[in-house]
């Protein structure tokens, strides 16, 4: 295992996010098994929330599908592994309110929880099955006006 993955493994053990993931896996009656790079995969997750086909808590990747089917989806697995790294960078469960705030901002801007969510963008939008949606039309018009106003504003020059 690469040193970075070893650090992620230890960080998410110490910050409690992996333990939380194991508890959620138990609540969702997921079957836990070892994945690569120090990750755990909980397949056959049965709770209705979150509605995503896969999600990550600490070093635990949860999915509703079979483990082997997830392992064949390299892009989605890489996306979820990046979320595990994000948990380590965010000192664990602090990531959850940050993530939900980012999802809310994304929804306000685009009508989609992932498009402008910094966590999803950094994990790879396409790998996670998200579309890169444009700003809502009213916001795009405001951004257009602001951009044109800034471009036409006379510049002040300092005089010595």
Least gap, CB of 3 to Zn ion (angstroms): 25
Question: What span, in angstroms and rounded, lies between the C-alpha atoms of 69 and 20?
Answer: 24
Burial (CB < 10 A; 0-12, 13-18, 19+), residue 83, is: buried
Residues 18-77 that bind Zn ion (CB under 5 A): none
Residues 99-138 that bind Zn ion (CB under 5 A): 120, 123, 128
Least gap, CB of 103 to Zn ion (angstroms): 10
- Closer CB to Zn ion, 43 or 120, in the complex: 120
- Closer CB to Zn ion, 38 or 128, in the complex: 128
Number of shown-chain residues binding Zn ion (CB under 5 A): 3
Least gap, CB of 155 to Zn ion (angstroms): 42
- Closer CB to Zn ion, 19 or 123, in the complex: 123
Tracing tokens 């006379």 back to the chain, one arrives at 154
| H runs (alpha helix) in the chain | 3-14, 17-27, 67-72, 74-89, 95-110, 118-123, 137-152
Tracing tokens 């999803």 back to the chain, one arrives at 120
Least gap, CB of 123 to Zn ion (angstroms): 5
For residues 21 and 56, the answer to whether their CB atoms sit within 8 Å is yes
Binding site for Zn ion (CB under 5 A): 120, 123, 128
């Amino acid at each position: 295992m690469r040193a970075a993955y070893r650090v992620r493994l230890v960080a998410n053990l110490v910050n409690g996010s992996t333990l939380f993931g194991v508890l959620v896996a138990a609540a969702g009656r997921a079957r836990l098994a070892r994945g690569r790079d120090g990750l755990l995969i909980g397949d056959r997750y049965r709770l209705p929330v979150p509605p995503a086909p896969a999600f990550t808590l600490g070093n635990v990747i949860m999915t509703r599908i079979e483990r082997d089917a997830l392992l064949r989806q390299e892009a989605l697995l890489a996306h979820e592994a990046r979320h595990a790294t994000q948990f380590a960078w965010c000192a664990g469960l602090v990531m959850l309110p940050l993530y939900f705030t980012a999802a809310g901002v994304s929804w306000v801007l685009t009508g989609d929880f992932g498009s402008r969510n910094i966590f999803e963008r950094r994990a790879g939008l396409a790998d996670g099955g998200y579309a890169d949606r444009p700003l809502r039309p009213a916001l795009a018009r405001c951004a257009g006006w602001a951009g044109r106003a800034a471009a036409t504003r006379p510049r002040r020059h300092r005089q010595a």
